[in-house]
Amino acid sequence: MQQQIMTAWLAQNQASVNEAGELNLPDYAKQLAAVDEGRAFSWLSKFSVLRISGDDATAFLQGQFSCDVAAIAEHGVSWGSYSTAKGRMQASFLLFGSGGIFHLLLRRDIAETFRKRLSMFVLRAKVKIENVDDSIAALAVIRPTACSGAIPQREAADGNDLAAAISPQASIVLSDAPAALLAQWQPALAAVGSTAWDLVFVQAGLPWVSLATYEEFVPQMANLDLLGGINFKKGCYPGQEIVARTQYLGKVKRRLYRALVSAAAVKEGDTLVAASTGDQTIGRVMLAVPKTDGQSECLLVIQEAAWQENPQLANNPAAQLQQLPLPYQLGDVI
């Protein structure tokens, strides 16, 4: 049913979705302007939704994820991550809890690998993990008025929809009846594609692990501790020892930064180097959005000290990198 609704919406907006799951619409410059003006919405077609349910779901996920699952189980939302035993993230996500049933939003290119990996550890627990992309659409919208309070936060929603503010202006809605929302937004707001909407994520400093950055970062490198995606008081989970050691022994040597890059062809996973370190990788691009002036706005995971050493794209040393502000404080980076 959702497939039919979204197919009709694509035709209505002269839009298409490519093999990578990216939503494309006409007039990219107009889309970027709509995002900047705060009057945009999008279908998050390059994301997937997993539903995790069962009597043991809360306890099971509490022992797998970096966030405090128990705290959001009844009616909450949190950023979170899933890591290897060495603390390297295999997924970062937005997790909704409703009556002990969870819906998890993550990048589509890692979703099936993540689902299979997590399912390996269910064993005899009463837990069901399923992809619900056929029945739930992930939508996003920039609101005309800013919300206040902690981010992310749950918001009121119609019917079975799950909604959360991910920034003071932007919200994500997981909907089993997307036609009504799309009809509501369409007259006053501009539909934008995946790349234009990524600018919202970049400007909010929100890290999504993708196939290009799979197992590249520990959660603190992506600022998940600053976004409330790590609970340092809960019990064990995969990678917890590394995450805790990083926190308490002061070994966070890299952080997620927002930057303007004087190049249009910047991709997720591109490596960063510095003249003083030769070919040694000092960071990677986590997300990149080309602008209409030939530059790109990006999220980079990079060593703080590297900003003093003229960091460069390994595949484009002539490109200049300029640090831009994030909406939250990075604190001390050691």
The pLDDT assigned to 331 comes to: 63
pLDDT tens-digit series, residues 55-113: 999 999 999 999 999 999 999 999 999 999 999 999 999 999 999 999 999 999 999 99
pLDDT tens-digit series, residues 136-194: 999 999 977 768 888 999 999 999 999 999 999 999 999 999 999 999 999 999 999 99
Taking residue 185's Cβ as centre, other Cβ atoms within 10 Å add up to: 18
152: preceding bond cis by omega (within 30 degrees): yes
The pLDDT assigned to 334 comes to: 34
Taking residue 101's Cβ as centre, other Cβ atoms within 10 Å add up to: 15
DSSP state of 226: T
> Can you tell me the distance from the alpha carbon of 309 to that of 278, in angstroms, rounded to the nearest whole number?
11
> Can you tell me the distance from the alpha carbon of 317 to that of 334, in angstroms, rounded to the nearest whole number?
26
* CATH code assigned to 1-251: 3.30.1360.120
The stretch 307-323 carries a mean pLDDT of 93
The pLDDT assigned to 333 comes to: 43
CATH class of 253-324: mainly beta
pLDDT tens-digit series, residues 228-285: 999 999 889 999 999 988 888 776 789 999 999 999 999 999 999 987 777 789 999 9
DSSP state of 3: H
Confidence of residue 300 (pLDDT cuts 50, 70, 90): very high
pLDDT tens-digit series, residues 200-213: 999 999 999 999 99
The pLDDT assigned to 1 comes to: 62
Residues in the chain: 334
Helices (H), the chain: 2-12, 28-37, 57-62, 69-72, 108-119, 178-185, 194-204, 240-248
Q: Output the pTM of the full model.
A: 0.96
Domain segments of the chain: what residues? 1-251, 253-324
The phi, psi pair for 208, rounded to 5°, reads -115, 115
Where do we find the tokens 């794209």?
313
The pLDDT assigned to 240 comes to: 93
Q: Please report the sign of the dihedral spanned by the C-alpha atoms of residue 40, residue 41, residue 46, residue 51.
A: positive
